[in-house]
Structure 1
Amino acid sequence: MDLPAGETSSTPVEYEPVSVKDLLVEMKDTAELLIDLAYSAVLHRNEELAAEVLRLEHTMDVLEIRAQMSLLMAARSPSDAEALAPVLSIVTATDQISDAAGDIAKIVLEDIGLPEAMRAALPDAVETLVRGVIDDRSAYADRTLGEIDLESETGVRVIALRRGDDWLLNPGPTTEIHGEDIAFLRGPESEIGDVYETLSGRPYDPQLPDAARIEDLERAVDTILHMKNLSELAVDLAYSSVLFDDAELAEEVSNLEVEVDALESRFEAWVLQAAADAADPVTLRGLIHLGTSTEVISDAAVDISEGVLREIEVHPVVQLAVQESDEIITRLAVAAGSDLDGTAVSEGVPDADVTMSVIAIRRPGDGWILVADADAELRGGDIVIAKGTRTAAEQFDGLADA
């Protein structure tokens, strides 16, 4: 793995008594952030984000080595080895995801080729992800995210922090930010500029598109965004299928991979068609790389869930995660005429008397609907992926039955 100038990956890694469960959760969060940063770096032509991908890739390498050490310590018999084999496949697949994210970042860092019109083709609804260094004099410095309350005030979220070599994933209300922290902000373009300037003390200077719009390129960008979102969902469901030993979630990972493969075929066709109208077709080369890496990520998600699909018994170190976790991801089928049939879902929240968050809907004939991207209405025959507490999941499942 190549790191930005001045960085090294030769730091020795020593065994630490960390549970495999904790490592799996951290690897899952790291993989999801890697994918998010890598695609954002490409879509917004941002070299700083691309460089952060390589740093985070190094962090993932360390997590993988520690996971391998923990697995070796946990295997005390042939039956242990058999039960831990699916977990080892997770480590291998995670390495594939990490490498694919690094390859995506290198499209920007090595100037493999991206069309100037790409930024213009981004849908207005796509949120912006930016990287900023927190100024010591910032109004946000030395305060918790709960005190700042950015998301409710502006819609901008701090999705991660880097403090030196340490990454703080999924920061919460009690997380305190300090001067010199590297903050990763996601939110609407209309609001993120003011937040960035308050945080960093520097003017916000987004790259604006200056090229003509190309219809086929717009279709290609829309498709790669959908592929990116489906791949992220596949990774999330794959890890969850292992942590919760859920064969139904593992089956949906396979369904997502089939959808991504179909989208990649269309994506390549639109890129080739766009080449006919591009001033320099070579600049489209990076898009082909992007499609290939996206397929690698979805394929790796299938590898993560393979042990569940093969019905290999889950090792106790993974079962512990199920026992300790209150929030779960669940899959349910909406029966025609059930209480959920015709229920509106807005920003992931269903109009039902349960505290569940709908992540995605697979609708026969229509494919996948990512609810975060659009409001929807549940229909009979829908396969719904939702997140919430165990109690809420049981109530939600009851509403889905006729």
Structure 2
Amino acid sequence: MNQFEGEASSAPIEYEPVNVKDVLVEMKDTAELLIDLSYSAVLLSSEEIAEEVLRLEERMDVLEMRARMGLMMAVRSPEDAEQLAPVLGIVTAADDISDAAGDIAKVVLEDIGLPEAMRAALPEAVETLVRGVVNTNSEYAGQTLEEIDLESETGVRVIALRRGDDWLLNPGPTTRIEADDVALLRGPDVVIGDVYESLTGTAYEPPVAESPDIDDLERAVDTIVHMKNLSELAVDLAYSAVLFDSDALAEEVRNLEVEVDALESRFEAWTLRAAADASDPVSLRGLIHLGSATEVISDAAVDISEGVLRNIDVHPVVQMAVEESDEIITRVEVESNSDLDGTAITAGVPDTESTMSVIAIRRPEEGWVLVGDADAEVRGGDILISKGTRTAATAFEELAVA
């Protein structure tokens, strides 16, 4: 049994007054980070990152229990119960995502079996996630993120810090990096090694990719990575659907879940075919675990948006949580001959004066196109899923109208 198992279930959690809004925000941030870390642990074959996943999973268990206690104390009438039921669904779904992420991490930690070809699934020039402990003599120790201006200088972002048992999620300009902090960094592969060395005082050793020599295995690996991207997008959209009470976004979550289900069926078939040609079929067992966990994440996304799909009014506590986010996700349908029709998108940035970032396109004849995977050109009839400020979103919607 892993050292982290058992601790979360046996540690007593007593009721204490909590701000449910703050707990929901932290659960959302934790769920999104867990997805990112768990798959990075697999793609990078990193036991250190996988162990951070289990630590975060333990934290999520505590947050879920506190959220449940707070919601139970808030129920005063049948009307309260009706409005709070979807919020409870959001809490449960976030915990389901956490459990799925833990299962993904255990593929690495428990040596369940995973083909080396998984590393080859890392796209060229993709952003890499690394974990490092801040050295006492690091130039970054004792400085705020604003002072070191790391992202502007290098493109590398500090996505989270762990200080002992405390997590600092979504660190901002005033967040100070301290010696012995565990830092999670994401950035371009060509520069992240230098930042890692400056942070930790040790050299960065990038993973070595091995190309699969079995066609069906290559298809299976490519499919699981695509399922991961779609599931991650579904979670992002699900929270936005709830926070902004958007039927359109909730419907896109359902569309994504259907797509992931279809991909899982094909993924299982390719994995079984690959097993027939593999020298060690047992080494593919971890792929099956990944497929199941990924499907759980997409199902959880639907559960998060279920209240919207059932036309249940969003509870005020969720509406308040909206104010914690400076960015929003929007769904825009591009009309033919509009300003967006024919616009090129490079690395998610449309060739317009808008500051919105396009993260995905759904086309009736092609399905989903994840812009992070390839450049694209906007066409009339496209459904664009974009991220940006509220002001930018309004202007972007106007560009989509002919």
TM-score normalized by structure 1? 0.94
Higher mean C-alpha displacement, 66-75 vs 241-250:
66-75
Higher mean C-alpha displacement, 131-140 vs 359-368:
359-368
Superposition deviation, residue 366 in structure 1: 1.3
Superposition deviation, residue 139 in structure 1: 1.2
2: CA distance, partners of 1:182 / 1:230 = 29
Superposition deviation, residue 210 in structure 1: 5.8
Matches within 5 A, 1:303-342: 303-322=303-322, 326-342=326-342
* Counterpart for residue 233 of structure 1: 233
Alignment coverage as a number of residue pairs: 402
Per-residue CA deviations over 1:214-242 (Å, capped at 9, x if unaligned) read: 33322222221111111111111111111
* Counterpart for residue 381 of structure 2: 381
Superposition deviation, residue 20 in structure 1: 2.5
Superposition deviation, residue 2 in structure 1: 5.5
Question: For the aligned residues, what is the CA RMSD?
Answer: 2.1
2: CA distance, partners of 1:34 / 1:86 = 22
2: CA distance, partners of 1:179 / 1:324 = 29
Per-residue CA deviations over 1:159-191 (Å, capped at 9, x if unaligned) read: 111111111111122221111100111223332
* Counterpart for residue 139 of structure 2: 139
2: CA distance, partners of 1:319 / 1:204 = 43
* Counterpart for residue 91 of structure 2: 91
Matches within 5 A, 1:82-161: 82-161=82-161
Contact 1:117/1:214 (<8 A) preserved: no
Q: 1:337 to 1:207 in 2, by over 3 A?
A: closer
* Counterpart for residue 44 of structure 2: 44
Output the amino acid matched with 1:164.
Answer: G
Instruction: Please give the secondary structure, in 1, of the residue aligned with 2:386.
Output: strand
Output the amino acid matched with 1:148.
Answer: I
Contact 2:212/2:218 (<8 A) preserved: no
Contact 1:345/1:377 (<8 A) preserved: yes
Superposition deviation, residue 209 in structure 1: 4.3
Does residue 62 of the first structure (1) align with residue 77 of the second (2)?
Answer: no
Q: 1:207 to 1:394 in 2, by over 3 A?
A: closer
Higher mean C-alpha displacement, 177-186 vs 264-273:
264-273
Contact 2:117/2:221 (<8 A) preserved: no
Q: 1:178 to 1:367 in 2, by over 3 A?
A: same
Superposition deviation, residue 14 in structure 1: 3.9
Output the amino acid matched with 2:77.
Answer: S
Contact 2:34/2:56 (<8 A) preserved: yes
Contact 2:27/2:94 (<8 A) preserved: yes
Superposition deviation, residue 323 in structure 1: 6.1
Contact 1:129/1:185 (<8 A) preserved: yes
1: CA distance, partners of 2:121 / 2:101 = 22
Output the amino acid matched with 2:379.
Answer: R
* Counterpart for residue 291 of structure 1: 291
Q: 1:212 to 1:307 in 2, by over 3 A?
A: closer
- Ranges in structure 2 where 5+ consecutive residues have no aligned partner: none
Higher mean C-alpha displacement, 11-20 vs 351-360:
11-20
1: CA distance, partners of 2:254 / 2:392 = 26
Higher mean C-alpha displacement, 149-158 vs 241-250:
149-158
Output the amino acid matched with 1:296.
Answer: V
1: CA distance, partners of 2:100 / 2:249 = 23
2: CA distance, partners of 1:373 / 1:248 = 24
Superposition deviation, residue 33 in structure 1: 0.7
Higher mean C-alpha displacement, 49-58 vs 356-365:
356-365
Superposition deviation, residue 322 in structure 1: 4.2
2: CA distance, partners of 1:210 / 1:344 = 33
Output the amino acid matched with 2:158.
Answer: V
Higher mean C-alpha displacement, 80-89 vs 157-166:
157-166
Contact 2:237/2:250 (<8 A) preserved: yes
Contact 2:121/2:225 (<8 A) preserved: no
Contact 2:8/2:61 (<8 A) preserved: no
Contact 1:3/1:9 (<8 A) preserved: no
Per-residue CA deviations over 1:357-382 (Å, capped at 9, x if unaligned) read: 22211111111122223222211001
Higher mean C-alpha displacement, 113-122 vs 254-263:
113-122
Contact 2:25/2:324 (<8 A) preserved: no
Matches within 5 A, 1:176-255: 176-209=176-209, 213-255=213-255
Higher mean C-alpha displacement, 261-270 vs 290-299:
261-270
1: CA distance, partners of 2:212 / 2:325 = 50
Higher mean C-alpha displacement, 105-114 vs 155-164:
155-164
Superposition deviation, residue 73 in structure 1: 2.4
- Ranges in structure 1 where 5+ consecutive residues have no aligned partner: none
2: CA distance, partners of 1:382 / 1:319 = 29
Superposition deviation, residue 320 in structure 1: 2.6
Superposition deviation, residue 212 in structure 1: 5.7
Q: 1:274 to 1:127 in 2, by over 3 A?
A: farther
2: CA distance, partners of 1:8 / 1:76 = 30
Superposition deviation, residue 124 in structure 1: 2.2
Q: 1:352 to 1:133 in 2, by over 3 A?
A: same
Output the amino acid matched with 2:270.
Answer: W
Superposition deviation, residue 98 in structure 1: 0.9
2: CA distance, partners of 1:34 / 1:84 = 25
Contact 2:163/2:180 (<8 A) preserved: yes
Instruction: Please give the secondary structure, in 1, of the residue aligned with 2:130.
Output: strand
Higher mean C-alpha displacement, 337-346 vs 98-107:
337-346
Output the amino acid matched with 1:237.
Answer: L
TM-score normalized by structure 2? 0.94
Q: 1:328 to 1:204 in 2, by over 3 A?
A: closer
Superposition deviation, residue 66 in structure 1: 1.5
Per-residue CA deviations over 1:52-84 (Å, capped at 9, x if unaligned) read: 111000111111112112212222111011011
Q: 1:371 to 1:140 in 2, by over 3 A?
A: same
Q: 1:212 to 1:279 in 2, by over 3 A?
A: same
Contact 1:3/1:54 (<8 A) preserved: no
